[in-house]
Structure 1
């Protein structure tokens, strides 16, 4: 089993306490009642989203392995929102909506939440939404822009596993990407096959309706929808200069280089990166397999 500790929880928190206890030291926290006075707390259920956005065509992603033919964040399918929500409510599905600015399509949703005064300069043009069905998973990754993230969950329950950036050497990071090996089962990892994971120390929590998880800059995260539901992320640019430089490299260099190599070498490039993730990790840690 992974070495995970529960993420601290508070019911409410002042701006000063959030900054001093979590933002500055870059530690995660769950705030349980931050949304209690939002209209979204009562309104944001799947049925409500289907009612007001049912005709919108939404991009869908599943858990298939990365293929060289896939573009960066290219969806695997598209569907009307009403049809997708009916699917979520009817049966388990691997289809997820990922990093979708639904509020651009349905501006009235902006009236349902309030920008938290919590000590972060949030990017107000980017309130992104995420949807998933029962037992659907978001592979272990970190975000390309190293943002500080306020992650709010609605309708049901979601499991979140986090690792700080200093745990990267143990997570089988795939070179020139933002992900770990996709064939690792982070619910029940095979530590004989992936021994470096036994050295990693991380965090876990289960988000309920209306709760907010703070994820610091560059934190790895693996998400699993325990029930159908959806989440919203509010973001703030990294405060640390080193992370801002890494974000710029990822956006302007790394992803373009990776796309170029996929076109040039095809699936061989993907396979080589996956092999290197294991070889480099074990070599760096002195693990003989």
Structure 2
């Protein structure tokens, strides 16, 4: 089913899938998929709740992020606040909040949780040093971006609901990709886009899905993703690095050059650098639209 304006398709759902079929038809083909109840036999499916995290890892201090765009000479990865996990859970229960826990490394910060989940047999090799949790409050959002390591991500949702928008990597021109970064223009809300201001979005082809507890979303390598939390939500991501040497080189370029160059330019030029990059993003999108017209 297509969205009325953006060219978005609903992601296919299955109740189970065989490893070879998953690898050949989805991983190699770079097609997203939702598998229901893949984690139903994990202890996490019964134990993980907001109260469980408050009790088990409540004394762990966690960095919190919001969706406010970086301004001036601010780093693009600045934390908005820090608090104990138990206090963050209390905040989530109080009502909507824009504060999120991003990339909470279980192995480093809460190894006692490692026994609550398993690595599924889906024909892919996981990077087992980086199982990460994501928390978000009702109404919070994750700005559109792609992962610089180009990993294949298995995103397991355990608590709450959230809407996810996905776009193949080659749609970046229509998504107002900001140069020297892995993000789109931060003023765009993809669940409520302003087509008058950002008309190229109508040409971007992608997918959307509402994740519910028990759902596993496969996010293919290089895919752009935007997330809006409908309710307080907790998810786990397991990562599998691609075998492509081209993507590995892109990862190294991002780590060794792109991030450092962008941060240096932010410090040197401040808001002028951000405005310049956004200007280029708009010009690139307009050029992509003209290509469609022609």
SS in 2 for 1:262: helix
Q: How many residues align?
A: 288
Unaligned 5+ segments in structure 2 are none
User: Is 1:57 the equivalent of 2:61?
Assistant: yes
Report the TM-score, using the length of structure 2 for normalisation: 0.94
Residues 158 and 208, structure 1, Cα contact 8 Å, conserved in 2 = yes
The structural deviation recorded for 1:68 is: 3.9
Alpha-carbon distance between aligned partners in 2 of 1:31 and 1:183, rounded to the nearest angstrom: 32
2:161 to 148, 153, 157: 157
Match of 1:38? 42
Q: Normalising to structure 1: TM-score of the pair? A: 0.96
Deviation of 1:241 after TM superposition, in Å, equals: 2.2
> Retained in 2: the 8 A contact 1:129–1:230?
yes
CA distance in 1, matches of 2:168, 2:284: 19
Does residue 232 of structure 1 match 2:236?
yes
Report the counterpart of residue 136 of structure 1 in structure 2: 140
Q: Secondary structure at the match of 1:286?
A: helix
Which residue in the other structure is 1:172 paired with? 176
The equivalences for 1:1-289 within 5 A come to 1-286=5-290
Using the TM superposition, give the Cα deviation of residue 69 of structure 1 relative to its aligned residue in structure 2, in angstroms. 3.3
Q: Following TM superposition, by how much is the alpha carbon of 1:102 offset from its aligned partner in structure 2, in angstroms?
A: 3.5
After TM superposition, give the deviation of residue 162 of structure 1 in Å. 0.1
The CA deviation at 1:265 is: 1.1
Shift of 1:195: 1.1
- Contact kept in structure 1, 2:153 and 2:221, CA below 8 Å: yes
Shift, 1:190, TM fit? 1.5
Question: How far apart, in 2, do the equivalents of 1:25 and 1:173 lie?
Answer: 23
Deviations 1:189-231 (A, max 9, x none): 1212111111111101111112110011100000111110111
Q: Secondary structure at the match of 1:30?
A: strand
State the alpha-carbon separation in 2 of the partners of residues 52 and 229 from structure 1.
17
Q: CA deviation at 1:104?
A: 1.8
Query: Is contact 2:106–2:130 with CA below 8 Å preserved after alignment?
Result: no
1:72 Cα deviation from its structure 2 partner? 4.8
Offset of 1:67 from its aligned partner?
2.3
Quote how far apart the aligned CAs of 1:283 are. 2.6
